[in-house]
A and B are shown apart, each in its own frame.
Chain A
Amino acid sequence: MTYIGKSVKRVEDRRFTTGKGQYTDDIKLPNMTYAYILRSPYAHAKINKIDTSAALAMDGVVAVFTGEDVKDVGGVPCGWQVNFKNGDVMKEPKHPLIAHERVLHVGDNVAMIVAESKSIARDAADLVDVDYEELDAAVDAFKAVADGAPQVHPEAPNNMAFDWELGNPKEEVAEALSNAAHITELSFVNQRLVANAMEPRSAIGDYDDAYGRHTLYTSSQNPHLTRLLLSAFVLGLPEHKVRVVAPDVGGGFGSKIFHYTEEALVVYFSHKIGRPIKWTAERSESFITDAHGRDHITKAKMGFDAEGNIVGFQVYTHANMGAYLSTFAPAVPTYLYGTLMQGLYTTPKINVDVTGVFTNTTVVDAYRGAGRPEATYMIERLMDLAALEMGKDPAELRMQNFIPPFDGVNQEGYATQVALQYDSGNYEGVLRKALDLAGYSEMRAQQAATSNGKLVGIGFSTYIEACGIAPSAVVGSLGARAGLFESAQVTVQPTGKVTVYTGSHSHGQGHETTFAQIVADKLGIGIDDVEIVHGDSDRVAFGMGTYGSRSLAVGGSAIVKSVEKVLEKGAKIAAHLLEASPDDLEFGAGKWTVKGSDKSVAFGDVSLTAYVPHNYPEGMEPGLDFSSFYDPANFTYPFGAYIAMVEIDKETGKVDLKRFVAIDDVGNVINPMIVDGQIHGGLAQGIGQALLEGAIYDENGQLINGSYMDYCMPRADDFPSFEIGRQHTPCPHNPLGVKGAGEAGCIGSTPAIVNAVIDALWKAGHQVKDIRMPLTPERVWKAMNN
């Protein structure tokens, strides 16, 4: 292999580092107008009246639209259906493009002002007079389901979107717990997070009257799904007359998976006014309109027998959905969360019970890890806490409870109590590697010896995630309203250069490099001879986008399928040229050779023959161009083991992360440098949740830290140099043996940090079970001084 397994430098970085990236907001179309969206300052209010006349009269204002103008078009749909325990379909109130009569969260769309410039649109928004009647707001997911709480949607009594459970019957779990020698209980909040992609969301709608075609440029992780939802569900447009382009996208972390109201608005009103409309979010708009992440309130109980083996696990979670159901929202606290409750352990009885709750807050949906970080946080917090309570070593407690190694080929996959079948795993392996890399016994000795006014703590976390989502039949049975395959077209040009059209979308992951490495190696050509095209529904026939660490496992596998078809047909053409049987040929180093001879024909000669088929196999179609759809047989299940070492200042409560050791097993690795980068970024994000980040709503539903002045993002100097390593357990069911690496760091790191702080406090005699994230100095100090 020339490229696979090598840290090939990213081909996309040339344009990114020289300012040549082309993001949605960089696009300027002739005659373009600019939109500003007036947003609700209240979490919950009646709109008595909107007077737009003064705004409309302003010079440079083209149009002002309100809820009245879109009340007859569709709302933004939800893409995943979860049913109530009694079988009823979840409550799914309409999410209108612009609020009509009632606003349901701070930031809800109230009016869209279209003008000749962005600043005119913004100034005109000040002239829109809205008469609000403020209503009480439901904010906290737990309080919102109580009788008498303010109601977000009349059709969802007690603000319940759904209730749901998975696993063994509750009675069986209760029985297992009643026989337990030790029970560890934990009530905690997995706080709300704001994704904060570096590029704010942006959308341009452009209607071409001559062809009757709509074009949407949008900062999306998922252009084809956006096209499907936009055309079929929201605006009722013929899909073949809609083009969606997601050009360079500056980070998504989940928040750009979803179809947003602004995308539909610019498309719809561009047609109405006959000019392109661009909308770009300001940062403070991103804070209140990008889908948020997490926001769970959970109570969990884990039982152990006298030897420390887990015997049962019961979980109750209230998941805040926000004011509407965003595209994937119901899946996150259910099928991406409940199904991970097995963790890496042999827990025999598990039940998870989840209530999805509407509140007057920004919608909550998938955010890097989506459900799996929430599951991992809980399980791994419980493991470290149980070890402290039972006086056991947290590494040993995990070792004794791990599912034994299985490769998924010679040994079967592991069937969990919560609906999944793990593909392959060696959980002891990663933990042993992590202990070795950390120098665990010296680490503990160092902890005991520290006496400089600091408390030292060591925290563990292991994780497993279900990614490479996903088998369509499986997700379909779980409520997904879309298939989750991926497509790839491999077009070999006559000169032997190759263009690959992938339905995956890169917004920082480096697809243009990784995918090219695969194709170049499989075809024996140079990486410069491969071009990866993504993000344009006119160029890529169909795609399901990038999220859930699926691009390489699903999108990459689709590419491999097409490459194999190219090689199969190429072999027939080569055989014809070599006057041999295809079975007598072998392919390597970019040419087909007759086995045991020096007779060969190069890839470029075969591709030229395919398009200039003068001397050609009889009856064979010309061309060398194949499309494939790959629908995986199972999720992939990366896993890993993390160890964090923190130092806490006794006087101030400030937590300093001194060491972070991470061993990940993401299966085979195509580009180690890119995987390292993904792990680093994920760790930073997960550690950010533990120590720094968190969206705070007051009791009136106002987000009170909606700016970088108050919302604390992690920076380089918050981290030590990460000590990372890998184990490679190939995925048995995809052709690349890869498992996905995009979310791993974010899933595993958060509990390791909190566990380390709790460990430090216990070792200093403060038997604190939980400190609410983020672990600010104030909270840690209070925990030490109560």
Chain B
Amino acid sequence: MNLKGKQTFQTDAQAIWNILMDTNKLAAITPGISKLERIGEDQFNATSDIKIGPVKGSFSGDLFLVDKKEPHAFTLKIKQESKIGNADATVRILINEVEDGNSELSFDGNAKLSGTLARTGQRVLTGVASSLTKQFFRGLEKELDSIRETIPLEEIKEKPVSTKKRQNIFVQFLNWLKGLFKS
């Protein structure tokens, strides 16, 4: 199964990197994770509970971080086992700074599933993965927001204002105008 996704955040790469490397914060924002424990330099033990349609399982196993290039890239190797089958995934994560001081977090990888998980869940899994990804990005956004709140006011002022947000307001205004003409 292919895993792919990306999202732009109003922050620099380092801020995202810091959250992703913080075990507690990562555990808090990743959906389904009930325990995440650092057991080595770049090795973690994770326990998660996931329910996918009719398939429900408690997973546990190791996560490894390899090929780290702070703050722009790392590869996550995941080996999770459960009674309903095992998942074996390798995902490359990139954090690239894009225009206006924003950063794009993207990932691309592959998961190999086995057992009941493969047999009864595969078709719905893609949908589930994208919904979990959205939850993760929302969690990350929230985490970034909470950091921003604690940053001194003058620093925020120096931050570039998101053009995306401005565009959104502009688009909304245009739509409102169009609406007026239609009625």
Please state if B53 and A702 are interface contacts (CB–CB under 8 Å): no
Q: Do A41 and B120 form a contact, CB below 8 Å, given A126-B83, A709-B53, A709-B54?
A: no
Evaluate contact between B112 and A707: CB separation under 8 angstroms: no
**Does B118 lie within 8 Å of A702, measured CB to CB?**
yes
Instruction: Tell me, rounded to whole Å, the shortest Cβ–Cβ distance linking B155 to chain A.
Output: 50
* Residue B127 is within 8 A (CB to CB) of chain A in the complex: no
CB atoms of B114 and A704 under 8 A apart: no
Q: Which residues of the partner chain B approach A126 to less than 8 Å between Cβ atoms?
A: 83
Give the secondary structure class of A's interface: loop
The A668-701 residues at the B interface (CB cut-off 8 A) are 698, 700
B98-123 vs A, Cβ < 8 Å mask (1 yes, 0 no) = 00000000000000111110111011
Question: In whole angstroms, how far apart are the Cα atoms of A706 and B54 in the complex?
Answer: 13
Instruction: Check: A705 CB closer than 8 A to any chain B CB.
Output: yes
A129-163 contacts to B (CB < 8 Å): 134
Which residues of B sit under 8 angstroms from A287, Cβ to Cβ? Answer: 119
Inter-chain contact B54/A41, CB cutoff 8 Å: no
Cβ contacts under 8 Å, A703 to chain B = 118-119
Scan A256-294; emit 1 where CB is below 8 A from any B CB, else 0: 000000000000000000000000000010011000000
Provided the pairs A703-B118, A709-B54 are in contact, do residues A41 and B123 lie with their beta carbons within 8 angstroms?
no
Closest to B124 in A: A709
A396 within 8 A of B: no
Chain A residues whose C-beta falls within 8 Å of the C-beta of B114 in the assembled complex = 41-42, 106, 134, 700, 702
A239 neighbours in B (Cβ, 8 Å): none
Q: Does B31 contact A (CB under 8 A)?
A: no
Q: Does B86 contact A (CB under 8 A)?
A: yes
A706 and B83: CB pair below 8 A? Answer: no
- CB-CB under 8 A for A704 and B53, given A126-B83, A710-B123: no
B119:A702 contact, CB within 8 angstroms: yes
Q: Is the CB of A704 within 8 A of B119?
A: yes
Chain A residue at minimal CB-CB distance from B120: A707
User: Complex formed: what's the CA distance from A106 to B116 in Å?
Assistant: 10
Name the CB-closest residue of A to B116. A284
| Complex interface: chain B residues within 8 A of A709 (CB) | 53-54, 120, 123-124
Q: Mark B42-56, 1 if CB is under 8 A from A, else 0.
A: 000000000001100
Given the known A-B contacts A41-B85, A41-B86, A126-B83, are A710 and B120 also in contact in the complex, defined by CB atoms under 8 Å?
Answer: yes
> Known contacts A700-B112, A702-B113, A709-B53; is A288 also within 8 Å of B119 by CB?
yes
Minimum CB distance partner of B86 in chain A: A41
In the complex, which of the residues B54, B86, B122 contacts A704, with contact meaning CB atoms closer than 8 Å? B122
Interface size class of B (residues with CB under 8 A): 10 to 19
On chain A, the number of residues with a Cβ less than 8 Å from chain B's Cβ atoms is 18
Q: Measured between alpha carbons, how far is A704 from B123 in the docked complex, in Å?
A: 8
Q: Which residues does chain B contribute within 8 Å of A702, judged by CB atoms? A: 113-115, 118-119, 122
Please give, as numbers and ranges, the residues of chain A lying within 8 Å of B115 by CB-CB distance. 41, 106, 702
Q: Kindly provide the distance from the CB of A151 to the nearest chain B CB, expressed in whole angstroms.
A: 20
Residues of B within 8 A of A288 (CB): 119
Instruction: Mark out the residues of chain A between 455 and 514 whose CB falls within 8 Å of any chain B CB in the assembled complex.
Output: none
Q: Nearest residue in A to B84 (C-beta to C-beta)?
A: A41
| A residues less than 8 Å from B83 (CB atoms) | 126
- 8 A Cβ contacts from A314-344 to B: none
Q: Could you say which of B85, B88, B113, B119 contacts A707, with CB atoms under 8 Å apart?
A: B119
B56 CB to closest chain A CB (Å) equals 14
A287 to B85 alpha-carbon distance, docked (Å) = 16
CB distance B123 to A705 under 8 Å? yes
Known: A41-B86, A126-B83. A284 touches B112 (CB 8 A): no
B54 neighbours in A (Cβ, 8 Å): 707, 709
Q: In whole angstroms, how far apart are the Cα atoms of A704 and B85 in the complex?
A: 12
Q: How far is the CA of A287 from the CA of B115 in the complex (A)?
A: 12
Give every chain A residue within 8 A of B122 (Cβ-Cβ): 698, 702, 704-705, 710
- Bound complex: CA A288 to CA B83 (Å): 17
**Residue in A42, A698, A706 whose beta carbon sits within 8 Å of that of B120 in the complex:** A706
Measured CB to CB, the nearest residue on chain B to A127 is: B83
Rounded to whole Å, the gap between the CB of A706 and the closest CB of chain B is: 3
Residue of A nearest to B53 (CB): A709
Nearest CB of chain A from residue B84's CB, rounded to whole Å: 9
B86, B88, B122, B124 — most chain A CB neighbours (10 Å): B122
A695-745 contacts to B (CB < 8 Å):
698, 700, 702-707, 709-710
Mask of A284-313 contacts with B, CB within 8 angstroms, 1/0: 100110000000000000000000000000
Which residue on chain A has the smallest CB distance to residue B117? A41
The distance in angstroms between the C-alpha atoms of A700 and B118, with both chains bound, is: 10
By a CB distance below 8 angstroms, the chain A residues around B124 are: 709
B115 (CB) vs chain A CBs: closest residue: A41
Which residues of B are interface residues toward A (Cβ below 8 A)? 53-54, 83, 85-86, 88, 112-116, 118-120, 122-124
Please report A residues at the B interface, Cβ cutoff 8 Å: 41-42, 106, 126, 134, 284, 287-288, 698, 700, 702-707, 709-710
Q: List 10 A-B contacts (CB under 8 A).
A: A41-B85, A41-B115, A42-B114, A106-B119, A700-B112, A709-B53, A709-B54, A709-B120, A709-B123, A710-B120
Pairs of residues from A and B, 8 with the lowest C-beta to C-beta distance, nearest first: A41-B115, A706-B119, A702-B118, A41-B114, A704-B122, A707-B120, A126-B83, A41-B85
Known A134-B114, A702-B113, A702-B118; 11 more pairs at CB < 8 Å: A41-B86, A134-B88, A287-B119, A698-B118, A700-B114, A702-B114, A703-B119, A704-B123, A706-B119, A707-B54, A709-B123
